[in-house]
Structure 1
Amino acid sequence: MFKFASCDGCQLTLLDCEDELLPLAGEVDIAHFLEASSAVDPGPYDLSLVEGSVTTPADAERIREVRAASRHLVTIGACATAGGVQALRNFADVEEFARTVYAEPRYVETLATSTPISAHVPVDFELRGCPIDRGQLLEVITAFLRGRKPDIPDHSVCFACKRRGTVCVTVAHGTPCLGPVTHAGCGALCPAFGRGCYGCFGPARSTNLPAYIPVLRRDGMDDRDVERFLHTYNAAAFEDPAVREGQP
């Protein structure tokens, strides 16, 4: 398990597995997981889980080293798969931020952007979420242990709402919701409590943003509101032309 720019929430999801963690630990040798142990094996590794985005020159170099030492590399969480909240810097002046926050900004080494791991090295699988779902994480690890493809749903949050019997908050109340264009995995938690989806699992592969943006405008959002709504958790995902154009 390797950490880049992130809050550690996705690593904690694995540690929070509790009852499932001990059987899993019996199946693998944990070689590098600083959140859990200071013991480190230099590798090579059969499976590397990577949390966090690339935000510094050192990050960009280190992820290449991790990739070279890994037979399989899986990115976990919104930061690693889509830049995370910190990718909001991609739409602003990072030098101005540094001057405002730091007394000596010349000592701060940072990139102008926060980018997903896949922008720097090949990735074998991406697990979405802010944070990730523990059941999905266990499925991904199990799949790689067994040499099969992970069975992770690729539909939108709307499917989960229908399974739960949750009334559509947009249709019933005019509440802005990103459920129709967001990857499933959260169990439709926010709509189940009467709140619109915030898109923390990133854009679904079948996303058709051009068709859905007029719905958000109908619910009272202007162009700036729509842009901010889309960029919160997975800002860099919408820099991908395929996502912007609604392509798989």
Structure 2
Amino acid sequence: MDTPIVHSSKPRVAVHKFSSCDGCQLALLDLGEDLLTLAARVDLLHFAEAGPFDPDADVDIAFVEGSVSTPEDLERIQHIRRHSRLLIPIGACATAGGIQALRNNADAAAWAAQIYAHPEALSSLARSTPISSHVKVDFELWGCPVSSQQMLAVVNSLLLGVMPRDSADKVCVECKRQGNPCVMVTRGVPCMGPVTRAGCGALCPGLGRDCYGCYGPAENANTDALAAQFSLLGLAPHAIVQRFQSINSQAPAFLAAADKARSRDD
């Protein structure tokens, strides 16, 4: 990382919103008392969801939620990058385009024409893209939404003058730690856990459900092997495409896996 790690005793912080549902900002607000403690350790200059509003402020750390989906987004992310020492995208929209990136493989203009009386009034880019597609980022926090405790850990690391640690484990590891029976082995339910990064606490498998891949691809994700297993479980190629083209559809590992499955469906 070229940008110096924050060493200031009370760094300036901003939280910006792009095309998103606000869920990752709410994860920060959900810290409760921990957020009050955190607020005493930083100068929170911009966080419209919580009150402070100064989108043009020069800051040490800028957290960005949401994807770049409009011409205004594209201009604004460049501005934020110029005014931030560290820029950290948070959540699936900011790291992989999010749910709205599903339109990247569809006729978005046709969708708009079916929904809006005057679709010409809309101003959207041709694609919904991650923040890293347009500016240099210093760290990425994946998830849909991100975990409140992960957010706190990232800020605490930066306040200590060290870079946050990226999660290298897979959801399967979290299931093992918690003693969850594997839904794919025991019940034949297709599950994204073997290729998805940890961080959610194996929430869905812990409730007997399959993992949906909310936290994006894990390190060294063997998507070929998982796609083959999905096929053995009876999923058709188009259904395998849907598994990988969901919340983190623009993550390179999932995008490549979907393309391979799609080619078998042609």
Once residues 55 and 247 of structure 2 are traced to their aligned partners in structure 1, the CA distance between those partners, rounded to angstroms, is: 33
* 1:46 partnered with 2:48: no
Distance 1:244 1:100, change over 3 A: closer
Seen in structure 2, the aligned counterparts of structure 1 residues 195 and 234 have a Cα distance that, compared at 3 Å, is same
Question: Is 1:103 aligned with 2:111?
Answer: no
Q: Give the letter aligned to residue 169 of structure 2.
A: H
Contact 1:238 1:244 in 2 (8 A): no
CA shift in 2, pair 1:206/1:80, >3 Å: same
TM-score for the superposition, normalised by structure 2: 0.88
Kindly indicate whether the alpha-carbon contact (under 8 Å) linking 1:166 and 1:192 is maintained by their aligned counterparts in 2.
yes
Question: Matches of residues 164-179 of structure 1 in structure 2 within 5 Å?
Answer: 164-179=178-193
> 1:124 aligned to 2:138?
yes
The alpha carbon displacement at 1:215 in A equals: 0.4
TM-score, normalisation: structure 1: 0.95
* Greater CA drift, 46-55 or 141-150: 141-150
One-letter code of the match for 1:42? D
Q: Does 1:63 align with 2:53?
A: no
Give the Å deviation of 1:239. 7.2
Identity of aligned residues (%): 49
How many pairs are equivalent?
A: 245
Task: Name the aligned partner's letter for residue 36 of structure 2.
Answer: L
Match status 1:114 vs 2:128: yes
Task: Flag structure 1 segments of 5+ consecutive residues without an equivalent.
Answer: none
* Distance change in 2, residues 1:240/1:226 (3 Å): closer
Residue type at the aligned position of 2:250: A
**Cα offsets for 1:6-54 (capped at 9, x unmatched):** 0000001101100201110010000110001143273210000000000
Q: Tell me the alpha carbon deviations over residues 168-196 of structure 1, each in whole angstroms, 9 at most, x when there is no partner.
A: 11111100000000010001111111111
CA deviation after TM superposition for structure 1 residue 149, in Å: 1.7
Verify: 1:148 aligned to 2:162, yes or no: yes
State the 1:222 CA deviation.
Answer: 0.6
1:79 and 2:57 correspond: no
C-alpha contact (below 8 Å) 2:175/2:206 kept by paired residues: yes
SS of 1:48's equivalent in the other structure is strand
Question: Could you tell me whether the CA contact under 8 Å between 2:91 and 2:146 is conserved in 1?
Answer: yes
- Show the counterpart of 1:18: 32
- 1:30 and 2:44 matched: yes
> For 1:127-177, what per-residue CA distance to the aligned partner results, in whole angstroms no more than 9, with x for missing partners?
010000111110111111221021342111000000001111111110000
Partner of 1:157: 171
The equivalences for 1:193-212 within 5 A come to 193-212=207-226
Partner of 2:251: 237
Please say if residues 244 and 255 of structure 2, whose CA atoms lie closer than 8 Å, have aligned partners that are also in contact.
no
Structure 2 vs 1, CA of residues 57 and 84 (structure 1 numbering), >3 Å: closer, same or farther? same
Structure 2 residue runs without a partner (length 5+):
1-14, 260-266
**Partner secondary structure for residue 60 of structure 2:** strand
Q: 1:5 corresponds to which residue?
A: 19
CA distance in 2, matches of 1:133, 1:163: 18
Note if contact 1:136-1:152 (Cα within 8 Å) is conserved in structure 2: no
Residue 237 (structure 2) aligned to one of 218, 223, 228: 223
Contact 1:154 / 1:204 at 8 angstroms: preserved in 2?
A: yes
- 1:94 maps to 108
CA distance in 1, matches of 2:93, 2:100: 8
Question: How many Å separate the matches in 1 of 2:256 and 2:232?
Answer: 25
- CA RMSD in angstroms comes to 1.7
Tell me how far apart the structure 2 counterparts of residues 110 and 41 of structure 1 sit (CA, whole Å).
21
Provide the rounded CA distance (Å) in 2 between the counterparts of 1:130 and 1:31: 25
